A and B are shown apart, each in its own frame.
Chain A
Amino acid sequence: MEKQTPSTMDIVNRGLARRYRKEKRFKLFGLSAIVVSMLFLVFLFGSITANGWTAFRQAAIYLDITFDEQMLDVENMRNANYAKLIKTSMAELFPDVNGRSKTRQLNKLVSSGAAFELQDMVLKNPTLIGTTKRARLPADDEVDMLLKGHISRDVPESERRISDDQIGWVDQLVESGRLELKFNTTFFTAGDSREPELSGIKGAIMGSMFTLLITLALSFPIGVSAAVYLEEFAPSNRWTDLIEVNINNLAAVPSIVFGLLGLAVFLNFFGLPRSAPLVGGLVLTLMTLPTIIIASRASLKSVPPSIREAALGVGASKMQAITHHVLPLAMPGMMTGTIIGMAQALGETAPLLMIGMVAFIVDVPGSMTDPATVLPVQIYLWADSPERAFVERTSAAIMVLLTFLIFMNGAAVFLRKKFERRW
């Protein structure tokens, strides 16, 4: 036989190497897509942690404060000049600092909030008056940044916010053990502040808690009820079709539109208070409802019909069959959906900006109608602040937020794993 036309096998074999190469390349593309996203995830978490972990420690100055009787009038302890006590103490430490501007620079090393801490100390314990006591006071944020190495000593003096003299004093204080980095309790016990060293996330966390409480109290019962009706009772007609399409659509409506709704309806129409966790909770309820309804319906659907039929067979009414048998079996799935919805609500920022939860609020909110911010909004506010010290605080607040979210999602996964049932 003459070999004039190549056989099919030959054609196939000739192309085989090329096709296998292509196959390998394709697989590599797929893998690299995953690797790229994972790398980004690592990069994101890495850079946040690298920026934020230093915020959990803060510079504190130990000063020997003489609570002078002459300056602290027992009658009027609230209005005494506490800043003067600090200035005197600093002057004793650095006796050779003279001149107005030098003294002012020296006193700037201590935070402006230190005087209030002294005031609190004296008000709590008036016996301090007349004694000398070593007090731990917050240092200024620039000192804090210098100790943490965020301010470089190599740049010329005019380009940093801390002068050569100040750096010298800071070094002296560190050497004498009067200035060191301590665990930053202020960060967890204070509200917002314009001074980075005095600001904390407690106000935001309380605001988030109140908001989430309202969201949970409303969205869980309403979501479960709606799911029960749609899944178990609703006749399949146009009306229920409409509701179904509606819910799917609402789940994909941009969150900021819910903020517009809250502004127009809750604030302008019903006249509810601005910046209040109450309104925030209402808006977030409407936003998370679709998530909860969809998850709850899926959970109800997974309960086998035999359960319902058995209950009906022994004489239960439909409502009894559902409340006594179907709902308990579907509950873990519903809770999982609710927790995921709550996690979404906890991380949500945009709609809350619309209803005024973005105000600068120093006090820690004590009720549902007090003005408040929430954790993500606090992050947004701090991210806008120009001070270097706020960058690390923003990252630290993000770390706290992410910790909460990881716990919530972990709980959801745990619930699903523990109660998951294959029928």
Chain B
Amino acid sequence: MSPNLFVVFTLTLSSLAYVMGKKKAFAFASKDKSVRPHSRPGYYGLLTALWCGIPALLIFAVWQSLSDTVLTNMVLGAIVGHGDHVDTAQLNLLVNDLRNLVAGNFFSGEVDPQLQVAASRYIAMERIGNLALAVVMFTCAMVGGAFIYSRIKPTMRARNHVEGVVKVFLIFCSAIAILTTVGIVLSVIFESYRFFQQVSVFDFLFGIKWSPQMAIRADQAGSSGSFGAIPVLAGTFMISGIAMAVAVPIGLMAAVYLSEYAGKRFRAIVKPLLEILAGVPTVVYGFFAALVVAPLIRNAGVTFGLSVSSESALAAGLVMGVMIIPFVSSLSDDVINAVPQSLRDGSYGLGATKSETITHVILPAALPGIVGSILLAASRAIGETMIVVMAAGLSANLTANPLQAVTTVTVQIVTLLVGDQEFDSPKTLAAFALGLLLFVITLILNVIALYVVRKYREEYE
């Protein structure tokens, strides 16, 4: 009997409750015309269905999320015994073997008879648990449904109750945004805290050497692992800087042209085309940068007698810049359009040409908004992952030469976390420390940008 069947069963029961509740409400409404029920019959049905379904489903959810841990602990407790200590690695191994046995996967090596017993106990207990769950869910559904069904009468405020439940659901949904942020902050901080127990914060923030390879055995030579984030950060800022140097002038000029010079038709065609640049998946840009742009730059470098790395910061930065153009242009476009027409008219009245009006009046007036859009674009560039993973390098060079390979925060997070992860080695945990750094940097940029844009909007509204 699969537990998922319970859900289907509960839902069926709940729809049955809806029908019955509605029928009862109809009955008293049609029996006596002088009685005016408080709500429409459907609400009585809904309320019955909600009371029938929600408690049972909540119990189901709680059991599903806890059962595995509870059962494993109970079974293992019997094997290991309460007194003696077992180290975590061994315990994890035991748990793994147990899971495999329970799932019916065979594993190489002999099966410990004790473990075999434990596995069969686990299966037996799981069956008992499921049976108990079925009984509890069924009772809950019946009792809840019957309780409301017995209380259905014309004076019952069914609609208000139903709407109250719906409202709680709506509030819960809007709180998910908060929960997500809390989840991000907690998960990143928790793992980073474990990282900083092994590597000092000072070394991480101000160290100038990044080589996260750890020695696997104690007697291994070299690679002791050093976690100085400066070269990684420098690479990030260099690539983002190149991207901004491409995106800001092009994006800004495109926005100015579109909002001040272009005709209606031209604007209607070109604006969506520009937005396409933002809609292309970043992995496509990454492939393009690695396959087309990087060799192009390399060959150009060779003709000028320069040595260009095939994973140069320039290639990744250029392509990233193109990706960001629409972020700058569409936000700046909005901002420029929000500048009141009276300012333009005043300037024309004094005899200024269009370009003079733009550079001397409109752009200064729109400056806060433009700065905001540039900051948002910068945060986008710093957090961009796929382009740099595919087109930028892995080795952390501390260099100012854009023709050399550099690495970025996001590249390091990806390389540290793809593949085997050990959550007790600083190598894996370092990814979370970098993630924290990335989150904090982008958060600061975003908050400033959003504040500036908001403030600016209020000014002209």
CB pair B385 A349 closer than 8 Å? yes
CB pair A23 B355 closer than 8 Å? yes
Q: Which residue of B lies closest to A257 (CB)?
A: B439
Q: A293 within 8 Å of B by Cβ? A: yes
Contacts of A346 in B (CB 8 A): 281
With contacts A34-B254, A243-B175 taken as known, whether A261 is within 8 angstroms of B383 at the C-beta atoms is no
CB pair A248 B435 closer than 8 Å? no
Contacts of A109 in B (CB 8 A): none
In the complex, what distance in Å separates the CA atom of A360 from the CA atom of B316?
26
Task: Determine how close the nearest CB of chain A comes to the CB of B316; give it in whole angstroms.
Answer: 14
Contacts of B128 in A (CB 8 A): none
CB pair A246 B435 closer than 8 Å? no
Contacts of B277 in A (CB 8 A): 37, 40-41
In the complex, what distance in Å separates the CA atom of A27 from the CA atom of B376?
26
With contacts A255-B385, A256-B410, A350-B386 taken as known, whether A36 is within 8 angstroms of B169 at the C-beta atoms is no
Q: B287 within 8 Å of A by Cβ? A: yes
Other-chain residue from A47, A254, A264 in contact with B187 (beta carbon distance below 8 A): A264
Q: Which residue of A lies closest to B172 (CB)?
A: A225
Task: Determine how close the nearest CB of chain A comes to the CB of B244; give it in whole angstroms.
Answer: 15
Contacts of A254 in B (CB 8 A): 379-380, 382-385, 410, 438-439, 442
Contacts of A264 in B (CB 8 A): 187-188, 190-191, 432
Q: A71 within 8 Å of B by Cβ? A: no
In the complex, what distance in Å separates the CA atom of A41 from the CA atom of B250?
14
Q: Which residue of A lies closest to B442 (CB)?
A: A254
Mark A397-415 against chain B: 1 for CB-CB distance below 8 A, else 0.
Answer: 0100110010001000100
CB pair A48 B284 closer than 8 Å? yes
Q: Which residue of A lies closest to B359 (CB)?
A: A26
Q: A209 within 8 Å of B by Cβ? A: no
With contacts A243-B177, A249-B446 taken as known, whether A349 is within 8 angstroms of B281 at the C-beta atoms is yes
Q: Which of B19-27, B214-222, B412-420 lies at the interface? A: B412-420
Other-chain residue from B184, B351, B417 in contact with A258 (beta carbon distance below 8 A): B184
Q: Which of B47-55, B159-167, B398-406 lies at the interface? A: B159-167
Contacts of B287 in A (CB 8 A): 48, 379, 383, 394-395, 398
Contacts of B280 in A (CB 8 A): 44, 347, 402, 405
CB pair A257 B188 closer than 8 Å? yes
With contacts A225-B170, A256-B383 taken as known, whether A383 is within 8 angstroms of B254 at the C-beta atoms is no
Contacts of A413 in B (CB 8 A): 272
Contacts of B284 in A (CB 8 A): 44, 48, 347, 379, 398, 401-402
CB pair A256 B413 closer than 8 Å? yes
In the complex, what distance in Å separates the CA atom of A234 from the CA atom of B354?
45
Other-chain residue from A30, A260, A318 in contact with B257 (beta carbon distance below 8 A): A30
Task: Determine how close the nearest CB of chain A comes to the CB of B212; give it in whole angstroms.
Answer: 16
Q: A247 within 8 Å of B by Cβ? A: yes
Contacts of B376 in A (CB 8 A): 252
CB pair B180 A261 closer than 8 Å? yes
Residues 186-211 of A at the B interface (beta carbon under 8 Å): none
CB pair B174 A230 closer than 8 Å? yes
CB pair B176 A289 closer than 8 Å? yes
Contacts of A391 in B (CB 8 A): 291
Task: Kindly name the residue among A246, A257, A354 whose own CB sees the greatest number of chain B CB atoms within 10 A.
Answer: A257
CB pair B261 A27 closer than 8 Å? yes
Interface size on A, residues (CB 8 A): 86
In the complex, what distance in Å separates the CA atom of A336 from the CA atom of B279?
15
Q: B282 within 8 Å of A by Cβ? A: yes
CB pair A222 B380 closer than 8 Å? no
Mark B345-359 against chain A: 1 for CB-CB distance below 8 A, else 0.
Answer: 000000101111011
Task: Determine how close the nearest CB of chain A comes to the CB of B104; give it in whole angstroms.
Answer: 16
Other-chain residue from B178, B272, B432, B442 in contact with A243 (beta carbon distance below 8 A): B178
Q: B273 within 8 Å of A by Cβ? A: yes
Residues 249-299 of B at the A interface (beta carbon under 8 Å): 249-254, 256-258, 260-261, 270, 272-274, 276-277, 279-288, 290-292
CB pair B257 A22 closer than 8 Å? no
Q: Which residue of B lies closest to A383 (CB)?
A: B287
CB-based A-B contact count at 8 angstroms = 247
CB pair B250 A256 closer than 8 Å? no
Task: Determine how close the nearest CB of chain B comes to the CB of A178; give it in whole angstroms.
Answer: 33
In the complex, what distance in Å separates the CA atom of A226 from the CA atom of B170?
6
Other-chain residue from B252, B261, B281, B418 in contact with A353 (beta carbon distance below 8 A): B418
Q: B183 within 8 Å of A by Cβ? A: yes
Task: Kindly name the residue among A34, A41, A349 whose own CB sees the greatest number of chain B CB atoms within 10 A.
Answer: A34
CB pair B177 A260 closer than 8 Å? no
With contacts A246-B178, A286-B180 taken as known, whether A409 is within 8 angstroms of B279 at the C-beta atoms is yes
Residues 415-441 of B at the A interface (beta carbon under 8 Å): 417-418, 423, 431-432, 435, 438-439
Mark A346-373 against chain B: 1 for CB-CB distance below 8 A, else 0.
Answer: 1111100110001000000000000000
CB pair A349 B190 closer than 8 Å? no
CB pair B385 A12 closer than 8 Å? no
Task: Kindly name the residue among B382, B390, B449 whose own CB sees the greatest number of chain A CB atoms within 10 A.
Answer: B390
Q: B322 within 8 Å of A by Cβ? A: yes
Contacts of A255 in B (CB 8 A): 383, 385
Q: Which residue of A lies closest to B160 (CB)?
A: A317
Other-chain residue from A29, A51, A261, A350 in contact with B184 (beta carbon distance below 8 A): A261
CB pair B286 A380 closer than 8 Å? yes
Q: A319 within 8 Å of B by Cβ? A: yes
Mark A9-25 against chain B: 1 for CB-CB distance below 8 A, else 0.
Answer: 00010000001101100
Q: B111 within 8 Å of A by Cβ? A: no
Q: Which residue of A lies closest to B413 (CB)?
A: A256
In the complex, what distance in Å separates the CA atom of A37 from the CA atom of B271?
11
Q: A423 within 8 Å of B by Cβ? A: no
Other-chain residue from B163, B167, B359, B383 in contact with A257 (beta carbon distance below 8 A): B383
CB pair B187 A380 closer than 8 Å? no
CB pair B353 A47 closer than 8 Å? no
Q: B68 within 8 Å of A by Cβ? A: yes
Task: Determine how close the nearest CB of chain B comes to the CB of A354; give it in whole angstroms.
Answer: 6
Q: A250 within 8 Å of B by Cβ? A: yes
With contacts A289-B177, A383-B390 taken as known, whether A349 is within 8 angstroms of B282 at the C-beta atoms is yes
Contacts of B190 in A (CB 8 A): 264
Other-chain residue from A32, A256, A379 in contact with B438 (beta carbon distance below 8 A): A256
CB pair B253 A29 closer than 8 Å? yes
CB pairs A–B below 8 angstroms (15 shown): A12-B351, A27-B355, A33-B250, A37-B274, A37-B322, A37-B325, A246-B177, A253-B446, A254-B385, A254-B438, A256-B435, A289-B180, A347-B284, A350-B386, A383-B283
Interface residues of A (CB under 8 A from B): 12, 19-20, 22-23, 26-27, 29-34, 36-38, 40-41, 44, 47-48, 51, 221-223, 225-226, 228-230, 233-234, 242-243, 245-250, 252-258, 260-261, 263-265, 268-271, 286, 289-290, 293, 317-319, 343, 346-350, 353-354, 358, 376-377, 379-380, 383, 391, 394-395, 398, 401-402, 405, 409, 413
What 11 additional pairs, Cβ within 8 angstroms, besides A37-B322, A253-B383?
A: A23-B356, A30-B253, A37-B254, A37-B274, A41-B277, A226-B173, A248-B446, A261-B180, A289-B180, A354-B417, A401-B281
Lowest 8 CB-CB distances: which A-B pairs, in order? A254-B383, A30-B257, A347-B281, A264-B187, A33-B253, A26-B355, A350-B385, A229-B170
